[in-house]
Structure 1
Amino acid sequence: MGGTKALAPWNGTTLIAAVIDRMAAQASAMALNARPDQAQDLARFGLPVLVDDEDLADLGPLSGVRTALAWAQARGNDHVVTAPCDMPDLPKDMVARLMAADAADIAYFATMRDHPLCARWSVSLLPGLEAALAGADGGLAVMRFVERQTVIKLPTEDDAAFANINSL
């Protein structure tokens, strides 16, 4: 898409504003994750902006998960729920379903394909994720990390809720 994907127009607003609106009623606290060069663009939404470590920012979405886990840990939380900025139609009960899932390092949704970034992550993963990112050369594939953890997949038939917007 070019530029900051989160700010791409979507139904009269932006992708990130649509996700914020969808998640606001579900979460007790919210924050946005950003690469260092995008943080200022996201500050206008009035939520804390968690900036990825400069050394990890180019390692893919798991650098953002790492940043969110560190934030959750500092707040005394056991888990964090993540949602990508390019899925504006996520289920209105996403957080409740993730939090109700059985104990696991990661709980995420699976439709016809897996959606590991629509997930509940245990803060206990932080040291292992940091080590994996430190050893990543050029990035760390999400599924490569996820497959090494204790995982619960939450089946759902609602493929449309997890539609990833990659072009407008």
Structure 2
Amino acid sequence: MRSVLGAILAGGRATRFGSDKALALLDGTTLIDRVAGRLRPQVDALIVVGRTHVDPPGVPDRPAPDLGPLGGIAGALHHAAAHGYDHVLSVPCDAPALPGDLRAILDAAGDAAFLDALPVVGWWPVSAATVIDRLLSDDGSRAVRAFADAIGAVGCRTGQPIANVNTPDDLAQLGRSPNAPVPR
């Protein structure tokens, strides 16, 4: 049985949103708390990457802040390696309606997988930490898909699209129908 660390990526600037979207409220609950509630039953432990946080505990992006989601995934992979986990299941702080079988979907796809429609949702082996370090030290692409390609990760789909909140309008629309995807 794989030991899995759940990682909520929350270090972004939220420029399109205009304020800290991790703390934005949806029906009285912050987005980050909603994501934690959906992810916690699917993993062995949970962290928040890219910000100070108490529960779940926060860890820094690696090697520095402002490297986008790849810096958050790198921080999670290194934290997982230091604490004896085999895999990291990464999700963004702005996807509050994650499926309850997300871990099973990604695990069934292989040793490394991600969601085609939202690649920051990923299933990453801890052994990939050296690859992500190399990508972050080069002047190349810092896209999650570049990392996924470099480690041979498989793109997969869920039964329905996952809502991703980028603007206040996205949040308002999600509030009207919490399980519906926000159109892009």
TM norm. shorter chain > 0.5:
yes
Check the 8 A contact 2:113/2:124 in 1, yes or no: yes
Secondary structure of the equivalent of 1:166? coil
Unaligned runs of 5+ in 1: none
Residue 18 of structure 1 aligns with which residue? 34
Once the two structures are aligned, what percentage of the paired residues are identical?
A: 36
Equivalenced residues, count: 152
Q: Deviations over 1:4-51 (max 9, x none)?
A: 2211111211110110111121111111112xxx41xx33xx222111
Residue 59 of structure 2 aligns with which residue? 50
- What are the residue-to-residue correspondences of 1:100-119 with 2, within 5 Å? 100-103=108-111, 106-110=112-116, 114-119=117-122
Residue 131 in structure 1 maps to residue 134 in structure 2: yes
Secondary structure of the equivalent of 2:115? strand
Q: Deviations over 1:69-98 (max 9, x none)?
A: 001111112211001100000101111222
Residue 145 of structure 1 aligns with which residue? 147
Output the TM-score relative to the length of structure 1: 0.82
Check the 8 A contact 1:59/1:136 in 2, yes or no: no
Write the distance in 2 (CA, Å) between the matches of 1:163 and 1:136. 31
Unaligned runs of 5+ in 2: 1-16, 169-184
Output the TM-score relative to the length of structure 2: 0.75
Offset, 1:156: 2.7
Write the distance in 2 (CA, Å) between the matches of 1:157 and 1:26. 17
Q: Match of 1:135, as an amino acid?
A: D
Q: Root-mean-square deviation (CA), in Å? A: 1.8
